[in-house]
Structure 1
Amino acid sequence: MNNTFNYGSSHLTIGTCLDIAAGKVKGVIDSDTAAKIQASWREVEKIVHAQLPVYGINTGFGPLCDTRISEADTSLLQSNLLKSHSVGVGNPIPQEIAKLMLITKVQALAQGFSGIALATLERIIWHIDNNIIPVVPEKGSVGASGDLAPLAHLFLSLLGFGEVYENGERMPAAKALAKHSLQSLILGPKEGLALINGTQFILAFAIKAVQRLDDALNRADVIGAMSLEGMMGSARPFDERLHQLRPYKGTKLVAKRLETLLKDSEICNSHANCDRVQDPYSLRCMPQVHGASRNAWLHLKELTEIELNSVTDNPIVFNADDTISGGNFHGQPLAMVLDYTTVAAAELGNIADRRCYLMSEGRYGLPKLLTNNAGLNSGLMIPQYTTAALVTENKTLCFPASADSVPTSLGQEDHVSMGSISSRKLHQVIDNLEYIQAIELLYAAQAMDFRRSLKSTPVVEACHALVRENVPHIGDDRIFADDINVLHQLVTNGAFLTTINNTATANNINWNDDEFGIY
Structure 2
Amino acid sequence: MNTLRIDGNSLTLEMAMSVAEKGVQVELAEEARPRMQASRDLVEKWVRDNKVMYGITTGFGEFSNVHIGTDKLEELQRNLIISHAVGCGDPIPKSITRLLMLLRANALAKGYSGIRIQTVQHLLDMLNRDIVPVIPSQGSVGSSGDLVQLAHLVCGMMGLEQCWTEDGGTRPSAEALKEAGLDPVRLSAKEGLALINGTQMMTAYLTYTTVRAKSLIRQADISGAMTLEGLLGTTNAADPRLHEVRPHPGQQAAARNLLRLLQESEIRESHREGHDVVQDAYSLRCMPQVHGASRDAIDYVEQVLLREINSATDNPLIFADSEQLLEGGNFHGQPVALAADFLGIALSEVANISERRIERMVNGKLSGLPRFLTEKGGLNSGLMIAQYTAASLVSENKVLAHPASVDSIPTSANQEDHNSMGSIGARKAWQIMRNVENVLSIEMLTAAQALDFHTPLDKGCGTRIAYDVIRERVTHLDEDRLLYEDVRKVADLVQKNTILEHIERKIGALE
- Is 1:216 the counterpart of 2:216 in the alignment? yes
Shift of 1:364: 4.6
Deviates more, 1:26-35 or 1:306-315: 26-35
User: Contact 2:206/2:430 (CA < 8 Å) preserved in 1?
Assistant: no
User: How far does residue 371 in structure 1 lie from its aligned partner after superposition?
Assistant: 1.9
Q: 3-state DSSP class of the match of 1:28?
A: strand
Are 1:367 and 2:359 matched, yes or no? no
Structure 1 Cα separation of the partners of residues 93 and 23 of structure 2: 19
Q: Superposed, which structure 2 residues align to 1:105-504 within 5 Å?
A: 105-168=104-167, 169-273=169-273, 274-319=275-320, 321-362=323-364, 363-504=366-507
TM-score by length of 2: 0.96
Task: Report the Cα distance in structure 1 between the residues aligned to 2:389 and 2:88, rounded to whole angstroms.
Answer: 31
The Cα of 1:156 is off from its aligned counterpart by: 1.0
Q: Which residue of 2 aligns with 1:516?
A: none
User: Counterpart amino acid of 2:359?
Assistant: Y
CA distances 1:44-88 after superposition (whole Å, capped 9, x unpaired)? 111112222211101100000000011111121111111110001
Distance across 1 between alignment mates of 2:80 and 2:119 = 16
Q: Which deviates more, 396-405 or 211-220?
A: 211-220
- Asked if the contact 2:97–2:135 (Cα under 8 Å) also holds between the matched residues in 1, the reply is yes
Greater Cα offset, 377-386 or 24-33: 24-33
Alpha carbons of 1:83 and 1:38: their partners in 2 closer, same or farther (altered >3 Å)? same
Determine the C-alpha separation between the residues in 2 that align with 1:22 and 1:432. 20
Higher mean C-alpha displacement, 30-39 vs 290-299: 30-39
Provide the C-alpha distance between the structure 2 equivalents of 1:383 and 1:25, rounded to a whole number of angstroms. 39
Bigger shift: residues 53-62 or 492-501 = 492-501
User: Residue 313 of structure 1: CA displacement?
Assistant: 0.5
* Alpha-carbon distance in 1 for matches of 2:139, 2:251: 38
> How many residues are matched?
507
Q: In 1, Cα distance between the equivalents of 2:353 and 2:255?
A: 16
* Residues 479 and 31 of structure 1: CA distance in aligned 2, closer, same or farther (over 3 Å): closer
Please report how far the alpha carbon of residue 6 of structure 1 lies from its aligned counterpart in structure 2 after TM superposition.
2.6
Task: Write the deviation string for residues 214-238 of structure 1: whole angstroms up to 9, x where unpaired.
Answer: 2211110001000000001000110
> Could you list the per-position Cα deviations for residues 321-354 of structure 1 after superposition, in whole angstroms to 9, with x for gaps in the alignment?
4111100000110111111211111111111111
- For residues 171 and 95 of structure 1, the distance between their equivalents in structure 2, rounded to whole angstroms, comes to 14
Q: What amino acid does structure 2 have at the position aligned with 1:403?
A: V
Cα distance between partner residues in 1 of 2:32 and 2:433: 38
Q: Distance in 2 between matches of 1:147 and 1:368?
A: 50
Deviation at 1:254, TM superposition (A): 0.4
User: Structure 2 vs 1, CA of residues 441 and 60 (structure 1 numbering), >3 Å: closer, same or farther?
Assistant: same
The structural deviation recorded for 1:365 is 3.3
Q: C-alpha offsets along residues 162-190 of structure 1, whole Å, 9 cap, x if unaligned?
A: 22124334211111222233322221111
Q: Find the counterpart in structure 2 of residue 78 from structure 1.
A: 77
Decide whether the 8 Å contact of 2:87 with 2:149 is kept in 1: yes
The amino acid across from 1:492 in the alignment is: Q
Distance in 2 separating the partners of 1:185 and 1:366: 65
Counterpart AA for 1:393: E
SS of residue paired to 1:423: helix
Relative to 1, partners in 2 of residues 1:292 and 1:59: Cα closer, same or farther, differing over 3 Å?
same
Task: Give 1:438 deviation, angstroms.
Answer: 1.5
Query: How much is the aligned-residue C-alpha RMSD, in angstroms?
Result: 1.5
Alignment gaps of 5+ in structure 1: 513-519
Question: Aligned equivalents of 1:372 and 1:32: distance in 2?
Answer: 67
1:451 match: secondary structure? coil
Structure 1 position 495, deviation (Å): 2.1
| Inter-partner Cα distance in structure 2 for 1:369 and 1:484 | 16
Q: Secondary structure at the match of 2:318?
A: strand
Q: CA deviation at 1:9?
A: 5.3
- Aligned residues of 2:264 and 2:461 also touching (Cα < 8 A): no
Conserved 8 A contact 1:335-1:418? yes
Contact 1:23/1:129, CA 8 A, preserved across alignment: no
Q: Which moved more, 1:164-173 or 1:439-448?
A: 164-173
Residue 96 of structure 2 is matched in structure 1 by 97
- Which residue matches 1:511? 510
CA distance in 2, matches of 1:280, 1:454: 23
Q: CA deviation at 1:141?
A: 0.5
- Determine the C-alpha separation between the residues in 2 that align with 1:178 and 1:361: 61
Instruction: Give the corresponding residue for 1:517.
Output: none
Q: Could you say what secondary structure the match of 1:171 adopts?
A: strand
State whether residues 114 and 317 of structure 1, in contact with CA within 8 Å, keep that contact through their aligned partners in structure 2.
Answer: yes
Change (3 A) 1:419 1:366: same
Cα separation, 2, equivalents of 1:184 and 1:390: 44
Q: Which secondary structure state, in structure 1, belongs to the residue aligned with residue 384 of structure 2?
A: coil
Identity %: 42
Aligned counterparts of 1:158 and 1:387: Cα–Cα separation in 2: 42
Pairing of 1:23-38 with structure 2 (within 5 A): 23=22, 25-38=24-37
1:60 aligned onto 2:59:
yes
Instruction: Report the residue type matching 2:279 in the other structure.
Output: Q
Match of 1:515 in 2: none
